[in-house]
Amino acid sequence: MSTNEKLLYTMRYLISKSLDGAITEEEIRRLDRLIIENSQARAYYVEYLQIHTHLRKLMQQNPELKYGEETMILDAQLWEQLARHERTAEMIAVERLRPVSEEPAKPTVSVPLKPKVHTFSLYAAIGSAAAFILLLAYVHLRPMIFRPVAVVTDQIQDAVLLQSSIPCVDPELYPGSYTLARGLVELAFVDGGKVIVEAPSEFVIENASKIYLLKGQLSALIENTRVPFIVRTLNSKVVDLGTEFGVRANADGTMEAHVFQGKVRLEPQEHLRRPALLLESGQAARADSAGVTTQTEADPLRFVRHQEFTVKKQAAKGSAYCRWQELVYQIHRDPALAAHYTFEQDIRRSDRLKNQAPTARGQLNGILEGQESRPQWVPGRWPEKTALFFDRSAVQRVRIPADWRLCTTGPITLGAWIKMEEAPADFISGMYGGIILSNGKEDNYNYHFSYGLYYENHMMIYMRAQGYDFHTKRPDLDLTIDQWHFLSVTHDNQQVCFYVDGKPMKTAKKSFAGAPVFADLLIGGMESWEQPKYRFHGLIDEVMIFNRILSDAEIQALYESGKP
């Protein structure tokens, strides 16, 4: 930013605060110094006040132009009035000063010395005094046109909000054009709307209940507003009816509106002359550049909503639990996520393990079962969440009824957070772990994923279909008991890769592409009850299944964001 741009930005900021009556004593002294010491600042100051005076006069003479709930400040009607006023205003004669050489010579006459006052200097002094009086008057009048209509309540991810290419340093926002070059900002509008804008976005704040989204996307949460909150785009207008919704405006003139709660009315711009469309919770619509709408389903994860924004704020402040939750939002946007069991207890159904993957649409949930007792809910990796304790002696596991979405032989990525404990005294000493995941039946298995079977400390994946075996393990791996570990494995039908705590441990060429079998998915055990060594003993906190191969970097991110 040049020195001249910085000066004008500072002047605009200080004068606006002065006119709104929000200027501090220190800022008054700063404004005074700039006006006194810098001629360009003085000229800008006078011009600013002149424009403001004309606007004030027009609004007094035309009451219909005063700020209203449906009227944009400095809208097209007001600019038209200004132009009309300029055309009809009384002409002001300005006397042209002749050069000294053109003035006729006059005889020298001796006269008594008197103070001489130049007419121009007199007018300048009167003008300066009038401007000063106007400033004092406007500070007390607090004209509506300079009141902020929104406030930046929070910003994250190194957000950069610009107005006219100049960073916004004041959280109070006035009507005008803005650009969010980076990060996320949360705006609270005077009339009650709360908006989260995602970069990159360009928008115009029109008034206390209306925003014009030129490009980018935002989510809005509207509660207890005096008037409907409106989001305009190039060809459409979204009018809230007490709701939470998201809007995306594309550079090609198309837009999308997604309703998460409540209702909105999607109205085309007046010149398009198309009927409005009412959208309810779970519904969405896309409008092309001509305003033609196509209705579809809402995608709640398409936008950063207020709950996720809060999680991101807390994660940035150091909350480990929110750091993990932030990752959960991220992986839930992956269409290849088939199942995600976060092991967070639902106190209304403590006998259930819920699948949180959005693609499952509330299905693929697990049932806690056991011969003597069910797995027990216990504290998880952080105090804010839970895990399940599996007691090998009580023969416990979680069953997810068979579904083809979970029956696969690859490509696949499996991951689980586990904490092993000492086995009960009546079992062989030193036998830790057990089967974490098992999907198969009658000796045909899509996948077994385990640690510590056969009295050896190794991680193993086993597949078998139509008599064809695929069986590989990671060499001796002595995991610390009573400590959380993240175990994961990938298989792309050509090779298998093992990971421990985010680090790759072994890659082996193992070709396998057998036809899947239709079978239940078991967590913490396998179909047969008879073999105790297969039963897992310890805690499981999280299980995830992807129908694709995650990269080394992605698996490392899962560990870093999920470690306690």
* Domains of the chain listed by start with CATH number: 1-65+121-146 (no CATH), 150-302 (2.60.120.1440), 335-562 (2.60.120.200)
Q: What is the tens place of the pLDDT at every residue in 161-170?
A: 998 788 888 8
Give the mean model confidence (pLDDT) for residues 350-365: 94
- Percent composition of the chain: helix, strand, coil (DSSP 3-state, to 5): 25, 35, 40
Q: What is the tens place of the pLDDT at every residue in 60-77?
A: 455 554 444 444 444 444
Is the pTM higher than 0.85? no
Neighbours of 236 (CB within 10 A): 28
Q: What is the pLDDT of residue 165?
A: 83
Question: For tokens 């909000």, what's the residue?
Answer: 161
Strands 538-546 and 166-167 turn out to be unpaired
Give the mean model confidence (pLDDT) for residues 276-298: 91
Give the chain's mean pLDDT.
81
Percent of the chain whose pLDDT exceeds 70: 76
Decide if pLDDT at 132 tops 60. no
Q: Find which of 16-20, 167-171, 379-383, 450-454 is predicted with most confidence, using mean pLDDT.
A: 379-383
464 strand-pairing partners: 445, 469
**Helical residues (DSSP H) of 105-175, grouped into ranges:** 119-141
539 burial via Cβ count (<10 Å: 0-12, 13-18, 19+): buried
Top pLDDT among 122 and 438 is at 438
Q: How confident is the model at residue 278 (pLDDT cuts 50, 70, 90)?
A: very high
What b-and-e string marks burial along 340-378, b requiring 16 or more CB atoms within 10 Å of the CB? bbbbbbeeeeeeebbbbbbbbeeebbbebbbeeebbbbe
Residue 534: closest CA among 477, 449, 467: 449
151 strand-pairing partners: 172, 188
